[in-house]
Structure 1
Amino acid sequence: MADSSSFRTQANALFRKNLTFQGRNFRTNLRLILFPIVLCLLLVLLQAIINNELDKPSNKCGCTCIDQDGDGQCERVCGIQYSDLDQVATCSIPNPPEWPPMLQLPAPQFRAVRTGFDSFGDLPDGSCRATNSCPATVLITGSNQSLGDSLGRNMFPSSSTFNSSNGLTGAVLGSASKTDSSNFLDSAFLSSLPIYYVQSQCGPNSTFSISVPIASLDLEKEIRCVQGQLLWRNSSSDINNELYAGYRKGNREEKINEILAGYDFLNSNINNYNVTVWYNSTYKNDTGNGPLGIVRVSRSINLVSNAFLQVLLGPSTQMLFDFVKEMPKPETTLRLDFSSLLGPLFFTWVILQLFPIVLTALVYEKQQNLRIMMKMHGLGDGPYWIISYAYFLAISLVYMFCFVAFGSAVGLKFFTLNDYSIQFVFYFIYVNLQISMAFLVATFFSNVKTVAVVGYITVFATGLLGGFFFQFFLQDKSFPRVWIVVMELYPGFSLYGGLYEFSQYAFTGNYMGTDGMRWRDISDSNNEMRHVLIIMVLEWLIVFFAAYYVDQAVTSGSGARKSPLFFLGKFKKKRSTSFRRPSLQRQGSKVYVQLEKPDVIQEAKRVEQSLLGQEMSHAIVCDNLKKVYPGRDGNPEKFAVKGLSLALSQGECFGMLGPNGAGKTSFINMMIGLVKPSSGTAYVQGLDIRNNMDQIYANMGVCPQHDLLWETLTGREHLLFYGRLKNLKGSTLTQAVEESLKSVNLFNGGVADKQAGKYSGGMKRRLSVAISLIGDPKVVYMDEPSTGLDPASRNNLWNVIKRAKQNRAIILTTHSMEEAEHLCDRLGIFVDGSLQCVGNPKELKGRYGGSYVFAMTTSSNHETDVENLVKGLSPNANRIYQISGTQKFELPKQAIKIADVFRAVENAKSRFQVQAWGLADTTLEDVFIKVAREAQPFDVLS
């Protein structure tokens, strides 16, 4: 028995096949690489258009010449212009204006009132919204209510404290306008919305017009009084619930109940000041990739701090908060890096494009049963997984290299500013995770079209969800980081998160003229890259081993499923490969009684002798082999194979005959390892099919019923691949391939080097037979090998099989009686899961066909005369066919003589017209039909 090929040999065979297969897909690979290149070129084009717009004078700093000191000489002044407040982002602002501090005040129509969903009755009636007179409510709580009430009374000034003549000094100002991302020009003073000042009470004349100086200009701004209302709540949870209940539920205006602020004084007392502040950040400008907008919270803190000082030191004490001011700003050049803005979305699609490609390749091999075919010819799971994984990894890395290299070559800041070593680590880890995920997902699919749709939906959905959902959580620094980590457990969001960090650093670096992401930035608490890399590495390892486990123990992508604890097999004592009689098992509580034929009983005795070691020449021994499929949907159990015992010698071709559904396919599937027997076993070259299929595969050849071929590989390349799996090398391999091609008439005329997808059906069939015989396997299974062949090709193929059976055992299934009689040394007729008879063709015809078939065709009027003629020859004759004057009868051989038949026919011709007649011996087809009809399902006794 030949040794199985080594791991290295199997890996080499699969690697060479994959390289050849990849070479055939050059155009597909070119289109794959062109996709990111075209996308990069599109980004470059958009970048050029945007830069052209930004370079226009209208988008540059608007400087002017102003005589500031009255000497008749003008000085160039940039930034906030003195004439019309013209300001662009590129201008320098060495002296930003000072703005009065503001509260984020709810608009009049949104201020808190009594509603049906609010359980607190101390809020004002909703009718105040009609007159825009609703107070601005502040909620307070703490462990000391008397102190809280005292602090609350000191927060807002009385009506006598502020009037128009005092200007803005001491006023508690507020606005409902949305803030900007900077405070160079406060939107509250530039928008059409009014500015309010908050007091404990508003008098009858509480609207004033104030002049607000900005540079050399004075802006006239109307300010209105609004009453500040302080309400006590018993706990911070009450405040929290009330704030939440009033937050624009369903965008229905009647449910908007906004609060100015909330304060929890906790354990504060005269000697201890401790406060928690709630504020409304809804209106901050945090859209886009820029910095977060201004949050008007500093004035709220100042109010409560000032109130505490007044409780301690008296009402005359004031902690003034005069103004807020932005930091000075130098003149800059406005540049917008388009690749950094759109990079996370576009590049997510570019990288994820590899996922459906790997996925469909894996599912294609499963759908076409190519992986099973490779396994049955000796390819182990280890080489398959490692080489396939390395193959997809190499393709992915080449793809990513071309992507990054081209993006860098055209000058995309996304690539050129960020450290290439960080990019390599990130892309390397992710493509490994992506390939592992493809292996895992592929175990649950068996249709290429379905998995392709799922794969590409995943690609586009991930990009869109990342850009319009996940990115907002990344930008919101108040969002809990733990939930970001949870979402990044989905690999697509991990990819998007990493690309987003690259884009942020590239955008900032391009804008500020600095570097992008460096390794030192990984430790930054605001940088998600560290979390992303850790998550992807852990998921890569977990997903890879999970995919392998599911492939082996849950699905049947590589044949019969293994035990859920298959990985513990190495710790168990190695099983003996010698013949051992397995313990016979009863199936459920039913006993099957069948009257077996003598030849079937004799075959069982041969099996018994072989198992006892008295006969060692048998290549295949089946010992009481059974297969029961469990009942489903209310149907009973299906007994596909009912205790088959069979022994085949080396050099013997055994033909399996039987009607459709007889159990032949189930028997073959058990022998080639696709399914496991329910009980009993079989030995191939002394190896048990239950435990040693990997060793059996090394000496086994299979010609399946349907051709399992790679459409883009040639016939020669198929044979080279399978020859290498059978341990053939060098000149031996080349010679074996040429001989195989010549034997099946695929060598001449360039047919051997034509792609299999261009072969005719008969040529594919001949190639499948050649594959099953290459490498000199000791056991070969052929399922209807001559299907679809013309008579000349079929006869040539029969000669090939007859030569091949001289040193190997062959099990052949066929529906052609001529093929069975021509090729098979012995035949077995299989009906209803049981072997009904065994023997060579002559024995079967002699045993089950002891009769002649007499046929005669006359006019319909003489059918009775023909029947009387036959009864005269033999009273035991049996009519088996009758239609339109043509009748067939079975005549017992021992009861008649052929000469008597001829005399009877000549006599009949003198009495009526005989159009045709014939006398034939029993054919193998007649035997098959007779055995199939006589075989009845045996009884089932409970």
Structure 2
Amino acid sequence: MADTSHGPASFWTQANALLRKNLTFQKRNIKQNIRLVSFPILLCLLLVLIQHLVNNELDKPENRCGCSCVDTNGDGKCEKVCGLEYSTLTQGPSCPVPDPPQWPPLLQVPAPDYRAVMSDVIPHKDLPNVSCKRSGSCPVTVLFTGKNQSLGEVLAGSMFRSSSTLNSSDLDYLARSALGSESTPDYSNFLDPAFNLGLPLYGVQSQCSQNSTFSVPINILSIKIQQEVRCVQGVHLWRDSSSEINSELYKGYEKSNSERKINEILSAYDFSNSNGNNFNVSIWYNSTFKNDRGRGAIALMRLPRSVNLASNAYLQFVQGFGTEMLFEFVKEMPKPETKLRLDFSSLLGTLFFTWVILQLFPVVLTSLVYERQQKLRIMMKMHGLGDGPYWMISYTYFLTVSSIYMLCFVIFGSGIGLKFFSLNDYSIQFIFYFIYINLQISLAFLVAAMFSDVKTATVIGYIFVFGTGLLGGFLFQFFVQDTSFPRGWIIVLELYPGFSLYRGLYEFAQYSFNGNYMGTDGMRWGDLSDSKNGMTEVLIIMVVEWFVVLLFAYYVDQAVSLGTGKGTFFCFQRFRKKKLPSLRMRSLQRQGSKVSIEMEKPDVCQEREKVEKLLLDSDTTHSVICDNLKKVYPGRDGNPEKFAVRGLSLALSRGECFGMLGPNGAGKTSFISMMIGLTKSTSGTAYVQGLDIRTQMDEIYTSMGVCPQHDLLWETLTGREHVLFYGRLKNLKGSVLIQAVEESLKSVNLFHGGVADKQAGKYSGGMKRRLSVAISLIGDPKVRLCALSKLLWLES
């Protein structure tokens, strides 16, 4: 056998052995790795294909700037002329607009069916009666409050003109009147939908005459059209406080929000402490359409006209009637012709990329659970692998695989032109992805302690993947976009790691989408200071959770590790007083009024007395001492409890070979399982080299060689690679390691004929048993335990 003077393997020797084994194992699973990396690549290619198809669709003539056949010379022949005036709302954004049209400023007027009326929800007596909705004659309501009601009445009464002061022939009609529309505002003013959809305008006046519908001329570039205007009465109502207005606005919005309609109230004003020398006003306005498409895509709010009405009312109060600021028009900035493009990687990327990154979780989880299910982790511990090297190498191994996976994902996505990656700062992406994959690996270590079956872990892992993506896309994202949803609850939801990932990807998607749309950059470090940017809080949450989850996962692993679990409160065990072994008395069993005494055979009594004497004398000449070792399995389904090992006492001196022969159910497997740490004893204990199997299994493993009853092998590693790995754990190196491996394989007839270099998964049952014996022999351990069918062999 090999030289045994090397002593226990150091931390780095164990780490080197495990790293070599993992690299070999990874090389054998190259096909699985290719499939893993190909998934995000195929997804990126799919997004590029969808992007190409959508761009081709957007480039069709009906989607480009509108054109028409116009007789420009009066000769009866038409020429094709393209421009904004011939375009629909869909076509307008692609048109060149050197001189944008001027649009009258508008109010956001509630549609007739959604104007405020008196109801059970809003019981104010001064509101119009609900019967006005049947005749379509409901006025629009303006609420106001302040410290001086008389001043408020004067200002509110001056906002809207009466019908007698206006007619459609006035040149300044559009600038002086309070026009409004029920149409949804757009995201630019190149083509205002109020003048493009054929809907009527509303002229808000203090009183409406009988003939309350007329038309006014509107210039759209070089074309003059007649726009229908319907008079609607504006009613101003006093409220005692701003909180009362808030309540009424909220109730009105809830009442009419089933179809995402606008608020029931036109606007509201709080003149606060305004007087003849001071003008102070707060304005409530309708922002229903503000965030329908997410951050950055904010519709133009019809607020300026509300401000102008309040300002003119105050000027007339101070300077007299006739003094006013004319608000003639609003217009966009000029722009060149642009192509319609829709960045699908940013639009759909949040959901898809969440799935891509999360699929690493079940990969790591199943790998860890596989080692638990096959008892490979405990097998490595039996041969001297400590928890420190195992955690360091396993964590680094999974981190390296995840980093390579993410690096390929980002590089490939950027290379094929996905804006999601190319527009956002790569340093922010690197930090975000690096922190999250560390959190994900830590979470996998924690969750792995809860499973012992790979199939169950795989199912739960993929439920987590797809469930997180769907909940993020169809629930969490709406909370993020809803500005009224409390920010504190958003942070609470982000404590769930999947939602932290989704929020970060959502921020990347929003910035890349808007950057592509506006022709600007995506997310930069300066954007993290934006109060609407949630990336900073996500990074902080993930860093804190990373360390907390990792520490908790290590604690749980130590507490519930298969066979060697130290218990929930193991960290307090050092403060407990150690109990000295005591003499064992023969058991007495009381049944009713009878007392039965278990009679033991003379050789059993003699061995028990020998053990008790050795324990009292603290003898060190015996390698193995079993002290009244018991294993009792609890009863199930009404059956009594089962004694597997019934008070075994045994002492083996150094150099002794002991065989235990018996039929199935005799307790051989239960005994060796307790000796090697696979199961805990019910009572009693055993000492190996003076070390207690209850509390010192980690130290016992450094001097023990084990051949368990069932083969604990990696299917893709060869016999030689198995013995090499366990030889390194025994601190064998160089030529000594090679010689020990050859001797171990030769001793079980697995060396010749290329058998040693054949994968263990292709071995027969007998060859696997021989390989397990070879593993137990490597490094010449001081104590060897081997379970062979009906025979238990223990050598010291």
In 2, the alpha carbon distance for the partners of 1:147 and 1:232 equals 11
Give 1:653-802 correspondences, 5 Å limit.
Answer: 653-656=657-660, 665-677=669-681, 679-783=683-787, 785-786=788-789
Report the counterpart of residue 610 of structure 1 in structure 2: 614
Change (3 A) 1:604 1:93: same
Report the counterpart of residue 247 of structure 2 in structure 1: 241
Worse-matched range after superposition: 729-738 or 670-679: 670-679
Could you report, residue by residue, the CA deviation over 1:457-508 in whole angstroms, capped at 9, with x for unpaired residues?
2222333333444444555566655444443333233333333343444444
Worse-matched range after superposition: 357-366 or 371-380: 371-380
Measure how far apart 1:104 and its partner are.
1.1
Indicate the SS of the match to 1:168.
helix
Measure how far apart 1:312 and its partner are.
4.1
Measure how far apart 1:606 and its partner are.
0.8
Which of 352, 366, 369 is equivalent to 1:363? 369
In 1, the alpha carbon distance for the partners of 2:416 and 2:88 equals 41
Report the counterpart of residue 581 of structure 1 in structure 2: 581
Measure how far apart 1:663 and its partner are.
5.7
Pair 1:339 & 2:345 matched: yes
Q: Which amino acid aligns with 2:129?
A: D
Change (3 A) 1:164 1:582: farther
Pair 1:138 & 2:142 matched: yes
Worse-matched range after superposition: 205-214 or 48-57: 48-57
Larger Rg: 1
Which of 171, 178, 195 is equivalent to 1:172? 178
Report the counterpart of residue 13 of structure 2 in structure 1: 9
In 1, the alpha carbon distance for the partners of 2:695 and 2:237 equals 80
Which of 179, 183, 199 is equivalent to 2:205? 199
Measure how far apart 1:21 and its partner are.
0.9
Change (3 A) 1:462 1:509: same
Report the counterpart of residue 460 of structure 2 in structure 1: 454
Q: Which amino acid aligns with 1:164?
A: S
Measure how far apart 1:303 and its partner are.
2.8
In 1, the alpha carbon distance for the partners of 2:256 and 2:761 equals 59
Could you report, residue by residue, the CA deviation over 1:705-743 in whole angstroms, capped at 9, with x for unpaired residues?
322221111222222212221222222222222222222
Measure how far apart 1:522 and its partner are.
4.0
Q: TM-score, normalised by structure 2?
A: 0.87
The structure, 1 or 2, with the larger RCO (C-alpha pairs under 8 Å, 6+ apart) is 2
In 1, the alpha carbon distance for the partners of 2:113 and 2:268 equals 20
Could you report, residue by residue, the CA deviation over 1:413-449 in whole angstroms, capped at 9, with x for unpaired residues?
4333444333322222222122112112212222211
Indicate the SS of the match to 1:324.
coil
In 1, the alpha carbon distance for the partners of 2:374 and 2:270 equals 69
Q: Please say if residues 175 and 329 of structure 2, whose CA atoms lie closer than 8 Å, have aligned partners that are also in contact.
A: no
Q: TM-score, normalised by structure 1?
A: 0.75
Measure how far apart 1:400 and its partner are.
1.9
Report the counterpart of residue 155 of structure 2 in structure 1: 151
In 1, the alpha carbon distance for the partners of 2:310 and 2:113 equals 26
Could you report, residue by residue, the CA deviation over 1:628-686 in whole angstroms, capped at 9, with x for unpaired residues?
77899999987765654322223334445667666655544433234444554321101
Change (3 A) 1:584 1:126: farther
Give 1:789-938 correspondences, 5 Å limit.
Answer: 808-809=795-796
Q: Which amino acid aligns with 1:200?
A: S
Q: Please say if residues 178 and 285 of structure 1, whose CA atoms lie closer than 8 Å, have aligned partners that are also in contact.
A: no
Measure how far apart 1:219 and its partner are.
1.6
Q: Please say if residues 13 and 721 of structure 1, whose CA atoms lie closer than 8 Å, have aligned partners that are also in contact.
A: yes
Q: Which amino acid aligns with 1:224?
A: R
Q: Which amino acid aligns with 2:789?
A: S
Measure how far apart 1:22 and its partner are.
0.7
Pair 1:439 & 2:442 matched: no
Q: Which runs of 5+ in 2 are unaligned?
A: none
In 2, the alpha carbon distance for the partners of 1:750 and 1:6 equals 32
Measure how far apart 1:129 and its partner are.
1.1
Q: Please say if residues 67 and 86 of structure 2, whose CA atoms lie closer than 8 Å, have aligned partners that are also in contact.
A: no
Which of 377, 381, 389 is equivalent to 2:383? 377
Q: Please say if residues 248 and 255 of structure 1, whose CA atoms lie closer than 8 Å, have aligned partners that are also in contact.
A: no
Change (3 A) 1:319 1:480: farther
Pair 1:409 & 2:415 matched: yes
Measure how far apart 1:250 and its partner are.
9.1
Pair 1:349 & 2:390 matched: no
Worse-matched range after superposition: 61-70 or 699-708: 61-70
Q: Please say if residues 93 and 330 of structure 1, whose CA atoms lie closer than 8 Å, have aligned partners that are also in contact.
A: yes
Report the counterpart of residue 627 of structure 2 in structure 1: 623
Which of 379, 382, 401 is equivalent to 1:395? 401
Report the counterpart of residue 818 of structure 1 in structure 2: none
In 2, the alpha carbon distance for the partners of 1:146 and 1:171 equals 24
Identity of aligned residues (%): 68
Report the counterpart of residue 293 of structure 2 in structure 1: 287
How many residue pairs align between the two structures?
783
Change (3 A) 1:10 1:220: same
Q: Which amino acid aligns with 1:530?
A: T
Measure how far apart 1:131 and its partner are.
0.9
In 1, the alpha carbon distance for the partners of 2:90 and 2:418 equals 32
Which of 595, 600, 609 is equivalent to 1:596? 600
Report the counterpart of residue 488 of structure 1 in structure 2: 494
Measure how far apart 1:607 and its partner are.
1.0
Which of 119, 129, 132 is equivalent to 1:128? 132
Q: Please say if residues 741 and 770 of structure 1, whose CA atoms lie closer than 8 Å, have aligned partners that are also in contact.
A: yes
Report the counterpart of residue 45 of structure 1 in structure 2: 49
In 1, the alpha carbon distance for the partners of 2:781 and 2:713 equals 19
Q: Please say if residues 137 and 229 of structure 1, whose CA atoms lie closer than 8 Å, have aligned partners that are also in contact.
A: yes
Give 1:55-204 correspondences, 5 Å limit.
Answer: 80-81=84-85, 88-166=92-170, 167-204=173-210
Q: Which amino acid aligns with 1:595?
A: M
Q: Which amino acid aligns with 1:122?
A: D
Q: Which amino acid aligns with 1:491?
A: P
Change (3 A) 1:62 1:105: closer
Q: Please say if residues 392 and 435 of structure 1, whose CA atoms lie closer than 8 Å, have aligned partners that are also in contact.
A: yes
Aligned-CA RMSD value: 3.9
Indicate the SS of the match to 1:277.
strand
Q: Please say if residues 360 and 448 of structure 1, whose CA atoms lie closer than 8 Å, have aligned partners that are also in contact.
A: yes
Measure how far apart 1:764 and its partner are.
2.0
Q: Please say if residues 347 and 499 of structure 1, whose CA atoms lie closer than 8 Å, have aligned partners that are also in contact.
A: yes
Change (3 A) 1:150 1:562: farther
Q: Please say if residues 620 and 690 of structure 2, whose CA atoms lie closer than 8 Å, have aligned partners that are also in contact.
A: no
Report the counterpart of residue 790 of structure 1 in structure 2: none
In 1, the alpha carbon distance for the partners of 2:732 and 2:138 equals 92
Q: Which amino acid aligns with 2:224?
A: D
Measure how far apart 1:765 and its partner are.
2.3
Q: Which amino acid aligns with 2:581?
A: R
Indicate the SS of the match to 1:620.
strand
